[in-house]
Structure 1
Amino acid sequence: MQPLALIDGLGRATLQAAHQLAALLRFAHEALRPARLKDTWTDPARRGAVATQLIFSGIDALPLTVLLALAAGFALGSELIALIDPLTDDRQTLDILVSFIGLEIAPLLTAFLLIARSGTAMAVELANMSHNRQLEGLQLLGVDPIAVLATPRLLALALAQLGLSILFATLALGSGIVFAALGESISLFRLLPMLPAAVPVEALVLFVLRNLLYGLVIAAAACHQGMSCGRLGTEVPQHAQRAVVGALLTIFVLDGLFAMGSLA
């Protein structure tokens, strides 16, 4: 019975995850409808909401992003360079470094940072608004809650994810080379001027696309769970938890799809 119960549990969890993922994608599609996007850029209040969220999710996260990037450069980048540099030429060393640190680690760690800082805060804020029936009040006034509250947040988090990930990748790669040069051999400084040319255009396009999708997913999960909260106060932390889990699940799925696409 135990193997059957395990299979049953895995099946239920998989179906539930698929259902949550489908609901998240439907919500993101609704929030990014052309009419809502157009109104976001033409309405000063909604542009202000985008700027406010961008400041909280992007600007305020800069110190922690810099710290994490330097830590990644020291713990991962420098060690990787010290390990592979004797075995490869400079071009191969930079290719491996850019692929691992810049194109894989940077988007994921930046996404985790945004989930921890902005995703949970956003979900709790919107869940409290839903719990206090403020969303119903907006609807009674003829205001579209998704257009006013969700769409600006999706756009802001997509831009914040992209900007922070670029900063993270740049600092992690550069500091990794510097730490490796200081710890192993000064000659490794030769890799620094070669770094920009080591990033292929195709990989850069995928990097931008991946980060924009990650930001949209984080915001969509937070807004969807927050705005679907019920009247019970105990539902607020539950929906915040679901927002975090949903964002992480979707990001891992997207990361796997990008990985398979790069190998194809």
Structure 2
Amino acid sequence: MAKSEAPQIDISGSEGVLVARLAGDWTTRWARQMQSALDKAFAGHSRPDALEFDFEAVTALDTVGALLLAQRRASFGEAVRTTIAGASGAQANLLGHVNAIEVHAPEKPLRLPLLLRPFERLGRMTAAALGDLVGIHAVLGRTLAALAATLTLRAPFRFAALVNQFDLIVFRAVPIVVLISVVVGAIITQQSILQLNNFGVAIYVVDLAAILMLREVGLLLAAIMIAGRSGSAITAEIGSMRMREELDALSVMGVDPYQALILPRMLALLIGLPFLAFIGAMSGLAGAAIVAFVYGGIPIDIFLDRLQDALNVRTLLVGLVKAPFMAIIIGLVAANEGFKVAGSAESLGKHTTASVVRAIFLVIVADGVFAMFFAAIGF
């Protein structure tokens, strides 16, 4: 077996014609050396009128070597005449097949000045955000169309799927929502009592806990937990089905994926999140009552009496009115990210993470917008 030799290239030229004399093995084993040799050999030469490759001293050639040569030829443009000399029959056939394929020279990435790079990133982020906004509205439109088809009896109502999703999204989330709400309610009350004791008005911690848990914290905790727990699950389920082409199979069978997959999950979120928000608020008040008794010396019966005076229907409605909007946000973001999953596990993990982060961010932003709106109308 002949010993392989490193690839070599020698460039000579006269009257606008470059002659590239090749030698050695131009095979995959020497890929880096081939690229380096081509870059060094052509570095000092301008665009010629004609280019000739001499294969007289080439001992071996495979597809990688032929592709690198074709890319170098393409870098000069189609107007440059290219000829082959000294190639064997097999080498000529391989070069002909590779050259018959449309080969583009590798583009060098555009490197902006250092001061402009942050603006480039900002532009890419803005374009991606606008693309996500369009995608979310597309998912919303398809979901509303599926709902309209169900209401007009043009599509079956999948009650079993709704019950199953309600169990997965709502009932199984109750323990974690209760636990987190109790802990957060206890922490808020404990810190509030420490400050209110300085003014001798520790009893007002009941009013503070009631308003915070019913208007803001109870719903916000439930929404964040659902975004992290169920939103990620929805993205992963839809994304894995997209990877295995199960969504295409449903479409081929005449089943609308939005009708079968998205609509039951959206309805479960719409119905379940107000329920979870109420449970979270009540759990937070329970934690507040325990801490108020331990740290503030406020008996449970006094806490409940004060709670009745502090609560009203308006405070309860503020929290419940926001819940369906946050449910829609979580569902739309999760579905949109699921449909964006490509054919790799890396893509699935990337979009699942993006689903959780974006849903939590939008939920917090929506809560802030509602807070400003209710303050503006005095509600």
Q: What TM-score does the superposition give when structure 2 sets the normalisation length? A: 0.62
Q: Helix, strand or coil for the counterpart of 1:32?
A: helix
Deviation at 1:198, TM superposition (A): 2.7
Q: 1:9 to 1:50 in 2, by over 3 A?
A: same
Q: Determine if contact 1:20/1:246 at 8 Å carries over to the other structure.
A: no
Provide Cα deviations, 1:7-49, integer angstroms capped at 9, x if missing partner: 4434543443343234224412431344145279x846x2111
User: Structure 1 residues 158 and 197 mapped into 2: Cα distance closer, same or farther (>3 Å)?
Assistant: farther
Amino acid at match of 1:102: L
SS of 1:231 mapped into structure 2: coil
Is residue 214–residue 316 contact of structure 2 (8 Å, CA) maintained in 1? no
Q: Is the 8 A contact 2:143 2:262 kept in 1?
A: yes
For residues 97 and 163 of structure 1, the distance between their equivalents in structure 2, rounded to whole angstroms, comes to 19
**What's the CA shift for 1:124?**
0.8
Q: Which residue of 2 aligns with 1:98?
A: 210
Letter in 1 for 2:148: A
Which ranges of structure 1 fall in alignment gaps of 5 or more residues?
A: none
Structure 1 residues 236, 195: closer, same or farther in 2, change over 3 A? same
Shift of 1:75: 1.1
**Identity percentage of aligned residues:** 25
With 121-130 and 30-39 compared, the bigger mean Cα shift is at 30-39
Higher strand share: 2
Q: Is the 8 A contact 1:69 1:169 kept in 2?
A: yes
Residue 179 of structure 1: how far off its partner (Å): 1.4
- Contact 1:73–1:173 (Cα < 8 Å) also in 2: yes
Verify the 8 A CA contact 1:21 1:250 in the aligned structure 2.
Answer: no
Shift of 1:177: 2.2
Q: Aligned pair 1:198/2:310, yes or no?
A: yes
- Equivalent in the alignment of 1:262: 374
Distance 1:77 1:26, change over 3 A: farther
Q: Is the 8 A contact 2:190 2:292 kept in 1?
A: yes
**What is the deviation of 1:190?**
1.1
> Are 2:113 and 1:35 equivalent residues in the alignment?
no
Contact 1:82 1:180 in 2 (8 A): no
Flag the structure with more relative contact order, 1 or 2, with Cα contacts below 8 A and sequence separation at least 6.
Answer: 1
Deviations 1:186-230 (A, max 9, x none): 347412133245334333333112111212221221122213323
* Paired residue total: 261
* TM-score for the superposition, normalised by structure 1: 0.86
Bigger radius of gyration among the two: 2
Q: Cα offset for 1:132?
A: 0.8
What is the distance in 2 between the residues matched to 1:104 and 1:177? 18
Partner of 1:60: 172
Q: Give the C-alpha shift of residue 82 in structure 1.
A: 4.5
Within the candidate set 229, 233, 256, 1:144 is matched to 256
**In the alignment, what sits opposite 1:17?**
129
Q: Aligned-pair RMSD on alpha carbons? A: 2.7
Q: Which residue, 146, 153, 160 being the options, matches 1:48?
A: 160
- Work out whether residues 138 and 145 of structure 1, in 8 Å CA contact, stay in contact via their aligned partners in 2: yes
Q: 2:228 aligns with which of 108, 111, 116?
A: 116
